[in-house]
Amino acid sequence: MNLVSSFMETARREGDRPAIVAPDGTTISFADLAQRSARLAAHWRNRGLQKGARVLVAMPVGIELYVAIAALWRVGA
């Protein structure tokens, strides 16, 4: 099982349970993390990001960073 498969299985199994709790108390569920990362991955693929691409991520630590990381896993970048 690869990282994306493991992530998707966890998201399916855990659903509405919190996946991330930010220091300010903001949360995102496993299902929402999976959905948001899927949309972002599709957007990036449509913009030309391909499997194997090298990507530099410069974002504050928080939910949006983890959405971006999960999207990059999905793309294979």
Which has the closest alpha carbon to 70: 25, 39, 26?
A: 39
Number of domains in the chain: 1
**Residue 58, pLDDT score:** 96
Q: Which two tokens stand for residue 1?
A: 């099982």
Q: Which two tokens stand for residue 34?
A: 């999976």
Count CB-CB contacts under 10 A for residue 54. 5
Residue 46 is part of a domain; what is its CATH number?
A: 3.40.50.980
pLDDT digits (tens, 9 = 90+) for 26-77: 999 999 999 999 999 999 999 999 999 999 999 999 999 999 999 999 999 9
Task: Find out whether 71 and 7 touch, Cβ atoms under 8 Å.
Answer: no
**Residue 23, pLDDT score:** 86
Which has the closest alpha carbon to 17: 34, 38, 2?
A: 34
* Residues paired with 59 in a beta bridge: none
**Residue 1, pLDDT score:** 67
What range does the domain containing 45 cover?
A: 3-75
